[in-house]
Amino acid sequence: MLADIITLFPEVVNVPLGSSIMGRARDKGLFQFRVHDLREQGMGKYRQVDDEPYGGGPGMVLRPEPIFATLEPLRTPQSRVLLMTPQGKPFKQEDAVRLSKEEHLIFLCGHYEGVDQRIVESCVDEELSLGDYVLTNGAIAAAVMIDAIVRLLPGVLGDDESAVQESFGESGLLDHPHYTRPAEWRGIKVPDILLSGDHGKIAKWRKEQALERTKANRPDLLEGK
């Protein structure tokens, strides 16, 4: 998979996508990313990328020309252009799964008040939101979404099962609690069942715990089940 990221702030994505599991995935050739600084296509002596909104009001809007000049050479029939915006459809695990099957994703990251609507209408395949809050810039959202997508690619996680047995996995539930050594820490013991060696009972306990957590923290996930 190839991810192209168009942003005014390359450093916001370079670090998370070059580190840890993402960095190793790239080193192994499982995915590639390229960051395109929108400023390079800025207009005039000052490489202007934004302007005042027509109709008045606060803030600045990203002009269409620098975005188009950056985006157009990257597009191929296989590309999917994703606009990062709080007005988009909320990005969920199912979107990560769906997008992990694409060959080429282009993440268009806004700043200030966002991008000129004509770009949205003529170049964007999908508008995606990280959640119901407003970030300062779309590169933060792109880094999060790319991480969620890329970790699903075959070979990225050490243990392929770990993408299945976790929150929002096949069960649709939140994950169960996890414990490691020591067996007792500050007077709090690891549940006996986890030390029992009885894998059937452990699996049942984990399922119950996952259900309890989901009921408590995310009852919406159980609707219609």
Ligand X SMILES: C[S@@+](CC[C@H](N)C(=O)[O-])C[C@H]1O[C@@H](n2cnc3c(N)ncnc32)[C@H](O)[C@@H]1O
What residues are designated binding site for S-adenosyl-L-methionine?
110, 130-135
With a CB cutoff of 8 Å and minimum separation 6, the contacts of 113 are 53, 57, 58, 59, 60, 61
Is residue 134 within the footprint of ligand X (CB under 6 A)? Answer: yes
Radius of gyration of the chain (CA): 22
Shortest distance in whole angstroms from residue 150 CB to ligand X: 18
Residue 174 burial class via C-beta count within 10 angstroms: exposed 0-12, middle 13-18, buried 19 and up: buried
Pairwise CA distance, residues 99 & 125, whole Å: 12
Q: CB 84 → ligand X: shortest distance, Å? A: 4
Angle between helices 138-150 and 10-18 (to 10 degrees): 20
> What's the token pair of residue 102?
């694409």
Stretch that binds ligand X, among 106-114, 146-154, 187-195, 202-210 (CB under 6 A): 106-114
Q: Does 137 bind ligand X (CB under 6 A)?
A: yes
Asked if 111 interacts with ligand X (CB under 6 A), we say yes
Task: Report the residue from 131, 193, 198, 207 that binds ligand X according to the rule CB under 6 A.
Answer: 131
Binding segment toward ligand X, per CB under 6 A, in 16-24, 108-116, 152-160, 186-194: 108-116
Q: Report the distance separating Cα 199 and Cα 158, nearest Å.
A: 22
Touching ligand X, residues 65-84 (CB under 6 A): 84
**Contact positions vs ligand X (CB under 6 A):** 84-87, 109-111, 113-114, 129-131, 133-138, 141
